[in-house]
C-alpha cells in the first residue's frame, strides 16, 4: 500500500507527531500534502528557524511570504542587529523579493531605496525601477540610480549665464 493511499484521517494523525522541520519538508513534496496542512504561521517559522536543521542550512523566516529562505535571499541589514536568528526584531525580517515585489500592498523598497545585498550596494533605480547594483558619483557616494542608468545618463552642458545687453 502507498502512503498516499492511506485515508486523510491517518495522514493527519501521522502529521501531528512530526516536527516543524518534517512538516515543512513534507509540504513541498506534493500539492496533496501542501493542501492538507494548514497554513504555517510566522510564529511557527520563527520557531523552525531556531532548529539545528535551519541553522545548518542557514535558513531564516520571511514575515510576508511565510517561507524559510536562505540567508542569501535577505538584505544584509535584515540579518543583523535585532533581526538575527534570536533577535528581538526577528519578527520584522523580510526577504528582498517581498521588499521589491510584495504579494500584497505597496513595496517595502520603493524607487530610490538603497540597501546592501550580499555585501554589494544595491538600489531600486528611480529611473528604470529595477533592482540592480547601485551607481556611485564622483565623490564615491551612492546614488539613487542603478549602474546602467547612471552610466547612460545624458549630461547636459552647463547653462551659460544670461548676457546683459
* pLDDT 10s digits, 109-143: 888 899 898 889 999 999 988 889 999 888 888 88
pLDDT in tens, 15-67: 888 888 888 888 888 888 888 777 889 999 999 998 899 999 999 999 999 99
Confidence of residue 11 (pLDDT cuts 50, 70, 90): confident
Q: Residue 35 has what pLDDT?
A: 82
Pairing of β 114-117 and β 142-146: unpaired
Backbone phi, psi, residue 13, to 5°? -65, -40
pLDDT surpasses 80 at 106: no
Domain segments of the chain as ranges? 7-38, 43-106, 109-153
pLDDT in tens, 72-87: 999 999 999 899 998 9
Kindly report the pTM of this predicted structure: 0.74
Q: Residue 70 has what pLDDT?
A: 95
Q: Residue 153 has what pLDDT?
A: 66
Long-range residue pairs from 46-55, CB within 8 A, at least 24 positions apart, any chain: 46/90, 46/91, 47/20, 48/20, 48/21, 48/24, 49/85, 49/90, 50/85, 50/86, 51/19, 51/20, 51/21, 53/21, 54/21, 55/85
Q: Residue 89 has what pLDDT?
A: 94
pLDDT surpasses 70 at 93: yes
Amino acid at each position: 500500500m502507498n502512503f498516499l493511499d492511506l485515508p486523510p484521517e491517518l495522514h493527519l494523525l501521522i502529521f501531528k507527531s512530526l516536527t516543524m522541520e518534517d512538516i515543512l519538508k513534507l509540504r513541498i513534496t506534493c500539492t496533496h500534502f501542501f493542501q492538507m496542512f494548514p497554513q504555517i504561521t510566522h510564529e511557527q517559522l520563527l520557531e523552525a528557524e531556531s532548529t539545528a536543521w535551519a541553522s545548518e542550512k542557514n535558513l531564516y523566516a520571511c514575515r510576508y511570504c511565510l517561507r524559510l529562505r536562505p540567508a542569501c535571499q535577505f538584505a544584509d541589514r535584515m540579518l543583523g542587529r535585532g533581526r538575527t536568528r534570536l533577535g528581538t526584531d526577528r519578527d520584522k525580517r523580510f526577504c528582498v523579493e517581498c521588499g521589491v515585489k510584495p504579494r500584497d500592498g505597496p513595496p517595502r523598497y520603493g524607487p530610490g531605496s538603497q540597501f546592501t545585498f550580499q555585501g554589494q550596494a544595491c538600489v531600486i533605480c528611480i529611473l528604470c525601477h529595477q533592482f540592480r547594483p547601485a551607481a556611485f558619483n564622483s565623490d564615491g557616494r551612492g546614488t539613487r540610480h542603478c549602474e546602467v542608468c547612471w552610466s547612460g545618463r545624458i549630461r547636459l552642458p552647463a547653462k551659460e549665464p544670461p548676457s546683459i545687453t
